[in-house]
Amino acid sequence: MPASGTIALIGGLTLAGLAFRLPSFNDSLWGDELATNFVVNGFGIGDPLWLVRHGKEATPPLFFLLTWLTKGFDGVDGLRVISLVAGLLTIPLTYALGVRTVGARAAAVGAALVALSPTQIFYSTEARAYALMMFLCLLACICLLIALESGRLRWWVAYAASVSGAMYTHYTSLFVLAGLFGWAFFARPDARKQLLLATAGATLVFVPWLPELVSDSGKRAARNIELIHPLTLVRAKTDLLQLFLGHPFLRVSRVPGDVALWLIGSAVALGGAGLALALRARDKPWWPPSSGVALVLVLALAAPVGATIHNVFAPSVFLPRNLLASWPGFALALGALVTAAPASIPWLRWAATGLLIGGFAIGAFKMLETSNQRPEFDAAAAFIERTGPPGSPVVDLPQPSPGPQTPLEAALAPKGAPLPRDRPVLELASPTFQTQLQLSRQGQPLSPATPRPSAQSIAQQAAQLAGSGTIILVDGTASVEELGRTPGPVADFLAALPPRFHEIESRDFSGLVPIGVHVLSGGG
């Protein structure tokens, strides 16, 4: 393909990737993103580096420091700029790696899969370090290949800088970096000296952070996966399907869906048939594979295999997000498979490629549906602000949050601020924001012994603040009557409210976790 055609192809794929990512880029802050918001903005405790070292965060600092530089970009969205840029750059870099390893056709397919993958769309718009980790591991791989080809010192330095950058971004990058090192060590024995020196240099750059790595491994955040999501064969299968084919928080039957899975499965079957025919037509033995194919397979398997081995010696880190650095290798392996048919049977190659890209495209379009995006806390906050006077209290039953701020507090507060200025927010079954902030200042985790206001005390406080006005209750999408009949903190709260309060309006909001906003009036 002429250079102009290559630029047009990769530019088009990158623009398509951007188009599928922009709707999720504006999602409300949710989940672990609240920890990023806390680290970057500090809320009066300290700067990002201090919070990473002394707070509850168990991740190295590079992503947070880069995000601190972009936090002024349109408020909350500034927290996602680094991930978006890293995720988009992964598209052309996947193509660049593919051209050097499995050929231009497979490289183009691999880049298309990165652009369309629901998991890639999600983590390219997640205010966490995973997309940057993947990008830096991929960059290290390309720099190493160019260094091996050219022998030039500057590319060995670039490789070492990328390796140290990946390690300063996320610890699980080690799995892919170790696989990359092992491949180069055995595939290019003539370059072992340069490889060892460059890797030693990268290690020396990371050495100052080793005490923090030891400290982070003992934090509760580092042990939560083992407690909540221990590694089993069933969970590993689910995690890998969600990572490579679907969405990290949804069943693959929902995203990309059964039709897409059938298309992808058919593509793999046709690709396998094409590969068998191609191997049969070759005079060379099929094993061992070429060094380029071997590298792609190593990259695709490094993170899952590394996380599995890690589980033998330490708490599990086996989750889709921690395995993301293997995604470009997986995409190129699939691209090589579906384009493997002999040139004498071009229809087989095109059919497999079309089915594969079609299956991933269905998943990408499903990511445009609000029900498959993060919960609509911003929309709920806008409804709350329109519904009653600023003094009307909001009572929320939040999900557990890694930061002191809840998703609703983040949505109601001014950008970068911890709490809304004029509207009280009361959290059910949760420590107060001030208590959580104090624990964060001390680097202490929440525990069952952490004081939590009772539902009855929150009902009394909310009724006093509202008077004859309104209380806004945020919970599930069931009616207030149904919520009152379901045992739990919300039912206890409703039972303790003065009988004058009754529901006058409600609104439901979609997303990965649907939200219900109920307006309770204390008037006649």
Which two tokens mark 504?
Answer: 């006058």
Torsion sign (Cα): 407, 408, 411, 412 = negative
CB-based contacts of 274, cutoff 8 Å, min separation 6: 337, 338, 339, 340, 341, 342, 345, 348, 349, 352
Task: Residue 194: name the closest of 141, 153, 146, 228 by CA.
Answer: 153
Of 351, 372, 393, the position where a domain reaches its end is 372
Of 372, 393, 428, the position where a domain reaches its end is 372
Same domain, 486 and 502: yes
Same domain, 260 and 322: yes
Same domain, 317 and 464: no
Of 349, 372, 395, the position where a domain reaches its end is 372
Question: Per residue of the chain (524 residues), what is the pLDDT tens digit?
Answer: 667 889 999 999 999 999 999 999 999 999 999 999 999 988 877 788 888 887 778 899 999 999 999 987 765 668 999 999 999 999 999 999 999 999 999 999 999 999 999 999 999 999 999 999 999 999 999 999 999 999 999 999 999 999 999 999 999 999 999 999 999 999 999 999 999 999 999 999 999 999 999 888 877 777 888 888 999 999 999 999 999 999 999 999 999 999 999 999 999 999 999 999 999 887 556 667 889 999 999 999 999 999 999 999 999 999 999 999 999 999 999 999 999 999 999 999 999 999 999 999 999 999 999 999 999 999 999 999 998 788 899 999 998 778 789 999 999 998 888 899 889 999 999 988 888 888 877 767 777 788 899 999 999 999 999 999 999 999 988 899 999 999 999 999 999 999 999 999 999 999 999 999 999 999 86
502-509 β-sheet, strand order: 425-427, 394-396, 470-475, 515-521, 502-509
Could you give the angle at the alpha carbon of 401 between the alpha carbons of 396 and 404, nearest 5°? 85
Q: What is the distance, to the nearest Å, from the Cα of residue 51 to the centroid of all Cα atoms in its chain?
A: 21
> Burial of 235 by CB count in 10 Å (0-12 exposed, 13-18 middle, 19+ buried)?
middle
Same domain, 365 and 381: no
Same domain, 242 and 385: no
End-to-end Cα, the chain, rounded Å: 75
Packed helices 346-366 and 258-281: angle between N→C axes, nearest 10 degrees: 150
Distance from C-alpha of 524 to C-alpha of 15, rounded to nearest angstrom? 56
Same domain, 425 and 277: no
pTM reported for the whole predicted model: 0.96
Range of the domain at 194: 3-372
